[in-house]
Structure 1
Amino acid sequence: MIRKTLSEVASMIKVENDVTAFADRKIAGASINSRNIEKGQLFIPFKGERTDGHRFVEDAINKGAGAALWQKDVPNPPLHLPILIVEDTLIALQELARSYRNELDIKIVGITGSNGKTTTKDMTTNLLSEKYKVQKTEGNYNNHMGMPLTILSLEETTEIAVLEMGMSGRGEIDFLTRLARPDVVIITNIGESHLQDLGSKEGIAEAKLEIINGLQEDGLIIYIGDEPLLHNRLKSYEGPATVKTFGRTRLNDLYPVEIEQLDNGSKFKINLSDTEFILPVLGTHNVLNSLAAIAAALHFNVSFENIKAGLAKVRLTNMRMEILQGLHGEKIINDAYNASPTSTQASIELLANLPGYKKKILVLGDMLELGPEEEKFHFEIGKSICAENIDAVFTYGRLGSFIAEGAKNIFSEEKVFSYGEKQPLIEELKKHVDDETIVLVKASRGMQLEEVVAGLQ
């Protein structure tokens, strides 16, 4: 992590006050949360609509913070404390991260996409860690505030950082990639998330492609070649980077030649090796995510033997294809971290194709941020469910009710259940499960469907 004296920090960002009295005081790392500040960290307060972090500066320093930033327009700065007065604390955080990143001798892998960013980040980190010292974006620190904090957490001895880049609108990934200056960029896919902000999938594709803007010379672009919105834009790319594609079809540089769905993951082979890989994560879509990670690993000369070892150790963040057991012996796939039409279709396909269960039940909730056609998207999801492979559909939420309406075109009404509250859903669901049942739970994060999962345990 960043380790500097205050005089060194003052040389990296524009500071408005004289820090001579505290010039030799050291900071180690940075935090925006005064409640869990760690010894030596630089505390960065922000002015919000409801609260002002500057109120907690003195408390943070008393708890062990090495120093704190202070925004110039906030009155009464505690000049008796080690503070650095700046024009804007967010901009100062970003500029400090930019300066620190430029000091580091490190390779960066930047990852974006509508779905699968975090999964691909975790997989890429695993594969590269077989050969290098690697750090990654923790949690959801993937935006204009989180990425600077991630960069400031990087150790000087780290060889590769795997950074997730999220967005809600145009220009955000452009900022992040220019800050990180990646050597490899991965675009996992183009889905419907952020249609509300960007208006069309074409707009989403353009926003995701901003990640190329910060790519270093002689870098590598990895993208899903099955996506026409990306392929049509990148097939004529004439920049200095190398371009590699991954996907289902043989038109890609990297593709699976065999996939076998296991009870707790997937077994597969790829076109570039005879190695048989075991991925302890469910879903063909996650095999595809692993191909992007493999392409990045090969770029950094990780052997297939090490790639195999790295994939076998993959463990995803909670609520992403998390396999649990219920009170009645039923298996539960908790995929309630997030949802879009693309990722929901992939989860439904996974459940339909899983072997070894007599009964398969879907629990689906609202998919958010889909714009003016959100009701149509939900209805179409319901219509697409295969009644031959799924035994019952439960939905939750206002938009979830449109999934139920679509499903009634396929299923008899006694197999479709729609609820506006979770507890009645849980009570009815319990009547349908036993030790030969598997239940998949999927919705956008805001729907908190992990509460349904907890109700079954």
Structure 2
Amino acid sequence: MTIERLHHIFLDSTGVSTDTRNIEKGQLFFALKGDNFNGNAFAEQALTDGAAYCVIDEEKYNTNSSFTLVDDVLTALQKLATYHREFLKIPILALTGSNGKTTTKELIAVVLSQKFNVTSTKGNLNNHIGVPLTLLSMNKETEFGVVEMGANHQKEIEFLCEIAKPDYGYITNFGKAHLEGFGGFEGVIKGKSELLHYINENGKDFFYNADDALMSEKVIAQNTFSFSEKKGANCMVKMKEANPLVQITFDGIDINSHLIGSYNFTNIAAAIAIGQYFKVDTPAIKNAIENYIPSNNRSQLIKKGNNTVILDAYNANPTSMKAALDNLSNLKEIKKLAILGDMFEVGETSAQEHQAIHDLSSSLNFDQVYLVGNAFAAVKSANNDIHIFSDFDALKDSFVKPDNATILIKGSRGMKLERVLELL
């Protein structure tokens, strides 16, 4: 079956599903395969649960007139997404980076939604499956697409660009994330820069933070739009304070966000700059930023009794961990605690990076620091205010609830440190 024919079937459907557990009536089911499952085996179940049509890639399962057989289901999904993207002919902005991708994506989407009907990546569905699903969630009402792209190896962003074919690009930063897969920090820069190269090679527009020296050094593009706290950029946005919520001055007005920490200032500034580029009115930009409430364990400010919790437990790497600790240190509150979990996918430098976070935590004079996980358990420590536990259960058994403190909770997703909230 041609992609054009498959696209006609898709347009007659109610959307796309890759999971029979949440399929909806009239959807087009793609029987993807994984290490521990074969979607082909669930095609009949998908029809029973309401699917109108199924795409499979194994002949022995081709037992129904509502099935179509392709060489590879994943490839068909990706090609369909690209065909649909070109069919819609809408502007698409893609973003990637080591830290802040999802928050920045959501901020850009809410700002642009003040002027356009925007479809953006849901959650962090930002890989070789998530990007196609995002594109296929766009419809004739969509006026603008915002697509988040994630990667932990080189050439992944390049591949995602060929699927989404973005008109605009933005890289949040280059940080020490997924060092193992990228082969070190230089590999991170090279991998994330694949978006910049695509934008440049295709004569598209690229946004960047002019206050980021490394980013400014790497950005060599034909068409750019910059933002900065200083004069000389296309858009000037200034941070008033972050204690703990970020307050900004832009175009003569103050904007009070619900985001924590100076590290989120750049995420907000990027959304403001992109809004300005697309001629969103300043009052509308202010409205969008001030009404955005973070969720999903990302920079959430939570009250627990008389304690204030900064919950940032969705992800962690050496760069984001340092930024969170520096931010906690700069807060005006008197009593501060840090509860930190292992950073995953750090590779050969794991011991060095975890020791560095321990040493930084020790130097910032917090009242208490709790380090949790096997990697942190291996660090060398001589500070009595730093408590080290090999896992969450060990922390739980020894944890003493603080009183009237500001508490940072941060770690990689697999550590599930949001469980600390139950201890408070």
User: How does the TM-score come out when normalised to structure 2?
Assistant: 0.93
What SS does the aligned partner of 1:215 have?
helix
Structure 2: how far apart are the matches of 1:392 and 1:202?
A: 35
Structure 2: how far apart are the matches of 1:69 and 1:361?
A: 52
Structure 2: how far apart are the matches of 1:344 and 1:393?
A: 13
Alpha-carbon spacing, 1:255–1:56, altered in 2? closer, same or farther (3 Å)? same
Matched, 1:31 2:17: yes
| Structure 2 counterpart of 1:345, from 281, 300, 322 | 322
Give yes or no for contact 2:88–2:140 (8 Å, CA) kept in 1: yes
Give yes or no for contact 2:52–2:66 (8 Å, CA) kept in 1: yes
Q: Which residue of 1 aligns with 2:298?
A: 320
Aligned-pair CA distance for 1:299: 1.5
Q: Deviations over 1:270-326 (max 9, x none)?
A: 4xx212111111111111111111121111111211111111011223111112233
Q: Structure 1: 5+ residue runs without aligned partners?
A: 1-5, 14-22
Matched, 1:261 2:238: no
Between the two proteins, what is the percent identity of the paired residues? 33
Q: Which residue of 2 aligns with 1:221?
A: 206
Aligned-pair CA distance for 1:211: 1.0
Alignment of 1:404-419 (within 5 A): 405=380, 408=382, 412-413=383-384, 415-419=385-389
Give yes or no for contact 1:137–1:163 (8 Å, CA) kept in 2: yes
Structure 1: how far apart are the matches of 2:386 and 2:181?
A: 32
Matched, 1:189 2:173: yes
Give yes or no for contact 2:62–2:68 (8 Å, CA) kept in 1: no
Structure 2: how far apart are the matches of 1:66 and 1:424?
A: 50
Q: Which residue of 2 aligns with 1:334?
A: 311
Structure 1: how far apart are the matches of 2:394 and 2:235?
A: 46
One-letter amino acid of the structure 2 residue matched with residue 419 of structure 1: F
Q: Deviations over 1:219-255 (max 9, x none)?
A: 3211233444432232x43x3xx21334566675445
Alpha-carbon spacing, 1:74–1:374, altered in 2? closer, same or farther (3 Å)? farther
Aligned-pair CA distance for 1:8: 8.1
| Structure 2 counterpart of 1:383, from 359, 363, 368 | 359
Give yes or no for contact 1:195–1:369 (8 Å, CA) kept in 2: yes
Q: Which residue of 2 aligns with 1:54?
A: 40
Give yes or no for contact 2:6–2:80 (8 Å, CA) kept in 1: no
Matched, 1:178 2:162: yes
Structure 2: how far apart are the matches of 1:381 and 1:232?
A: 27
| Structure 2 counterpart of 1:372, from 340, 344, 348 | 348
Structure 1: how far apart are the matches of 2:271 and 2:61?
A: 50
Aligned-pair CA distance for 1:339: 0.5
Q: Structure 2: 5+ residue runs without aligned partners?
A: none
Alpha-carbon spacing, 1:358–1:25, altered in 2? closer, same or farther (3 Å)? closer
Structure 1: how far apart are the matches of 2:233 and 2:357?
A: 28
| Structure 1 counterpart of 2:191, from 193, 203, 207 | 207
Give yes or no for contact 1:222–1:245 (8 Å, CA) kept in 2: yes
Give yes or no for contact 1:352–1:386 (8 Å, CA) kept in 2: no
Give yes or no for contact 1:205–1:229 (8 Å, CA) kept in 2: no
Alignment of 1:257-296 (within 5 A): 257-263=238-244, 265-270=245-250, 273-296=251-274
Q: Which residue of 1 aligns with 2:77?
A: 93
User: How does the TM-score come out when normalised to structure 1?
Assistant: 0.86
One-letter amino acid of the structure 2 residue matched with residue 52 of structure 1: N
